[in-house]
Structure 1
Amino acid sequence: MKPFLSVVCANLRGSNAKRRQDKQTNKREVNAGQPVFIKSHHDRSLVFADSLLLKTLCGSMSTEQLQSRVNPSLHSSPGGCLSLTFEADFSNTERHTGFRAFYTVQDVDECWHSDLKCSHFCQNYIGGYSCSCKPGYHLSEDRHTCIVNCTEERFGSGVLTPPGSPGPYYENAHCSYTLTVDEGEQLILSFIGEFDVESRDGRCVDSLTIKTDSATFGPFCGQEAPAPINTAARRIKVLFRTDQGGTNQGFSLSYNTKLMECPGIVTANSILSPQKRVYTKGDTVTVQCVTGYSVDSATKKTFESTCLRSGKWSPVYSCELVDCGIPEIKEPDLIALTEEDPLTTYKQNISFRCLSEHYKLHGHDSFTCNASGQWETIEHLLSPQVDLPRCIPVCGMNKQTFSAGRVFGGEDAKLGQIPWQLLTKQPNRGGASLISDRWAITAAHVVVGQETKTLMFYGGMIDSLDQNAVKMETEKIIIHPGYKVENPYQTNYDNDIALVKMSARVPLSTNIMPVCLPEKSNGPVMEGKLGTVSGFGGTSENPLRSRYLQYGHVKEYSEVPCFDTTLKVTDNMFCAGGDEGVDTCKGDAGGPLVIPLLGRGSPETPYRLKGIVSWGPAKCGDTNFKGYYTKVENYLDWIRETMETN
């Protein structure tokens, strides 16, 4: 079988176009003319619209049959193609006449058939269509939608109504009216008559909005007219927006003029003096910021402002919320704010914390920003010089407790058991007690003559040869002014006390911590308690020195002399010793005597430095003789004053 293909594609339009207001499209038609005589079952004619098969024809049909059954369906889509395929084989036993087809091109009425609707009117023409609008409207950029663009400028007084008034206002309206009056005057707006702007479920479908340079009124809609508006402006914009439907009646806006008035507020967060109902040109007021606010974040609370002809105040300054700022922290490595970025304005609170567990906060920890821009506690204002909280070392705590031993002939101390014990080796071997992270206390005779030199102290260890010991260089050595050296052999130990300031802060840990200073007492120095004395001095095995830290328990002897001596004994000394030869010896001088007994300290009962190893009999460990200790509580004022001033 050989196919014969005929394709009909046309873009022509006929002249018998009809005009309607609905959109139409173009179509092409093929009409069969003469009867079809295709007898063979193997011969046929196929008609396609684009790729869609419309009809398969064979056999014999009259013109009337074609017109009624076939032709009505033989048309293309708008702008499309019709194709005709004829197929015949070689088995014809008789001659057939075939067929005859005619094709035409017809114009389509877009106004009738198209989905693109014109808002108002549609005009069809050969080859296309166009939209047009009712009077008062014009086509938008999409060439289909009719809109109202009612931009207008007015001066003075009058009445403003929406486009289409009287009667329903126009749809698709985008109105912008500019109303202006002379300088020194302001516009007063009031709605008169009916107010009817479309709304639905409490929301504006259409809207009326009034704007000045400094305020916006609206949007308004519904059927309740807004209250009169004193715009306080000589130039305003009235914006009216509508959608595509509705039959609402709109509004009548009366606009009139009056002398310009200044508003009853100059700046936020302030009050005016004098108070008046109306302020006009030339009025001058005192503006006072309310509590907690100040002028431009400064300490100034008031300023004067004058009402100008334009209805504006001048000058105008802001009343800003008072900000106390972040206090300057002098030791940021020890103390910090509890919050990293706290609020610091009026009535806000800040608090402090120590960065190390080995320190505790001294002073007020919480402050509130007051209306004057200063931090204060419940009791008083914060003064950076004296009232900022400080982190001071935790004192009188040790790592753990163990059973008692002896200094002369005693047992070794454990690491962290006596963390305030210090040792100096040159030029004189002696002990000291750490009393803060910068200061130590010792006997004057240990450091006398070294005031202008730099000594080395060791701490945080129990082995005097420990290479990992904390090393501390001295910055200042301050001997009590009452200490006197009467001869080279030291015949007077009165005021045998000295303070040593280290050149850098001592790194506190569980192995090196300060001991607490004592409290003044009216009775016995040791309060009738057993105490503990420690040092790296002589032992029974080595009367000159001990490699390891030793300690022993002693008690106070107040009624009998420690031993017979020609040296002067004063009220700045007290006698103490232990049983079975427990005693201090050469090399222990300057070391601590603390209460309570080692192993019985607690946060409620910290270890306190009651005595400093000072002097004793020539022979150590004699059960009949005891040693003398400097009475630390007699020097508390001198200690604190010296530390504060140095």
Structure 2
Amino acid sequence: MDPMDGGMRYTPRSSDKDWDQAVTFLPASDNKKLEKKRGPGRVGFIVGLVILAAVLALIVGVLVWHFHFRKDFNIQKIYTGSLRITNQPFVDAYETSDSPEFQGLAKQVMSQLKSMYSESPLLSKYYVGSRVQAFSEGSVIAYYESDFTVPVGQDKAVDQAVSELSNMYSAPKAARGVVKNQGPLIFDYVVSSALDTRLFSNARTSTRYAQHTRDTADEIIKSPGFPDSPYPPNSVVQWQLRGDPGFALKLSFDTFNLEQNCAKDFVRVYDSLVPMDKFLMAEKCGYYSPSDPLSFISSRNVMLVTLVTSDEENFPGFRARISQIKLDGLPCGGPLTGSSGSFQSPNFPNYYPPNTTCHWDITVPVGKFIKLKFPKFMVSTESCSDYVEIAGKSRLCGQKPANHMVTGNSNTMTVVFHSDSSYVDRGFKATFEAYEPTDPCPEMFQCDNKRCVKPTMRCDGWNDCGDSSDEKNCQCDSGMIQCKNGFCKPMFFLCDGIDDCGDGTDEINCGCKAGEFKCSNDQCVSEKLKCDGNRDCNDGSDEEGCSRDLSCTVTTFTCNNKKCITKMNPQCDGQDDCGDGSDETNCNCGKKAFKSSRVVGGEDAVVGEFPWQVSLHVKNMGHVCGASIISKRWLVSAAHCVQDDKIKYSQPGTWEAYLGLHTQKDKQAATKRLLKQIIPHPSYNSYTYDYDIALMELDADVTYSDTIRPICLPSATDVFGSGDSVTITGWGATREGGAGATVLQKARVRIVNGTTCEKLMNGQITSRMMCAGILTGGVDACQGDSGGPLAFLSDDRMYLAGVVSWGDGCARKNKPGIYTYVPKFRGWIKEKTGV
């Protein structure tokens, strides 16, 4: 064993009114006088009153139906659209909606829209009116809204009628014999679509701004209140953005921080001046890091940005810059020659513009063929309306795995990228390379689908080709499971209750020894531990079906009402298991602000991707260990990080904690805290690394931000199963014996079956440890990652499943990393910190 050393790892409710009708009869003061009077008599009087009451009831009923129920039979439909006027030149006054020129042309457009709708018997019945919202160049494009009141059940028919009418007016002149005299304005095309109902809700206030970007100066737009206060609730805010003729607009968000749920708060960007879904470029919510910014380019000199907010959970909002670029200012196609080279979609890695087509003609030396590789490929999947076409044959769209490859059979190739009018994406980056026809994958393994993968990926137990051809007909080494069907599987799949081979090979002979109880997850524990009140099986199955009443223990979840929950993973799962909601409180954790341990074989994390990660520095020395934020005051780390050596690591004064840190060379951008106290677990064993966990109290609370947030703590009943994917992060050595990383690293590994890990680590694993890694080697935590988090993703939250503890070297084959199993210490953590 070579353990890590000290240099260490909201829908408005509708309520119906009740209408009470009552007739009160007052007693007469002299009954005899009434009896002597001539008239209809008492019976006639009562009959008259009954008739009167019935008439009144009928009137009230009609009124109630008219004002209350009748509204349910009609719905409001708004259609937004644009049309091009070909017999009018654009004048600058059309940009100002209160100018006489704007008003005059708008009146003509509305008159002709009314005439257009009158050509449809269906639309003419329900049409209410139109409003012109804006004009832009080309010759003149008018943007409008049209209102209809439509009976329920007729909305689909009206949608179809609007679409057909638009198509008829957009047809070539030779096909327009059915169109009556248009009027003084000649329309070249008409495009319209139903407006998203979220954009005209009566519950939301509406605001509109207009800005024109000129020359090279940037214009700024920002959400109301930014940055001093959150954006207002129940609002629809629109920014109509313009540029000069011959230019496109570029919208770049410096800050973007909205609620994560797009059903509540969202921003929509349109390649238009009214919100038409046909020209919707994107709908976004949540948080986007400044290091991975949102940036959009229009297809012409107009753009619309719309912010819609709900009545709750308001966030800081956004700030964005608008600049203009020449329409031909983005690289798009052209000839490519040579033995190798690269090209990419316009504006990559940001969103490509709509209505764009690029052609690349690639030529390599005669006698060679062309191989295309796509390190990144993200092209909208809307019916493959955006695509990359290769050699006039295959079309690619959607998202492809890294380094997706396509080969040709000549020394020339044409690649075409096309985007339609809506739903843009990040695009692609591509490289081309000449290859010998007889050797399409030099020094690589060629998959049946023509993809090339590294030879080391052959028979490693993972489907790297995508068609499993790299895993067929394998002769496995002794460290892997040899399936009867010729596949190899990692050893940690052995006896995990899942048929990973596909023929059951990995689940043969998986019984427990005499005197042992087999847990539901195939773990074996002593029969004496069954029903002893402690959760010895990781899945708690040794305590299921016991006849005695279980009292709440450290191994179960105790509700505030003292109810004991034995369900696995009850916290923050969206279900009130306790009945008092206490299992769903304190759930503001484990969320990344940004959208998308010894770490060997990892990659750079994005700024704020792991906001709970802490870098622990020894004063005047630099980074030594990692830790995780669990509250504004407390951190969790490893006990072996705070054991005295030549340096008094156990003393709070030795340490500095950097929160929100991304790059070790940029400590001034982080929040520094000193430590008030350090609490290593009292049972920590420095020889076996058992109970390797410690708590650290900061000298002052921290303020949560986009880059500083807590990770969720698991409950004592949480289970992390073998084969589950987990994430390790840290600034530790990127190779065994190497130097620490400058930028925070991340890597994905899998939890290894406990029985397998016990064998691989020669019996040194206790019930307070868990194993994770890639048994083929190459990915692991390493020195300097100690104390950092092993994070498990569940229901869109990250949980602290483990703490980086020790390992036999770093990233060695069949040597997983060993982590302190945090659920075992949940009671101790709460006792010491209150968290």
Shorter-chain TM-score category? 0.3 to 0.5
More helix per residue: 1 or 2?
Answer: 2
TM-score normalised to the size of structure 2? 0.28
TM-score normalised according to structure 1 size: 0.36
Structure showing greater Rg: 1
Larger relative contact order (Cα-Cα within 8 Å, sequence gap ≥ 6):
2
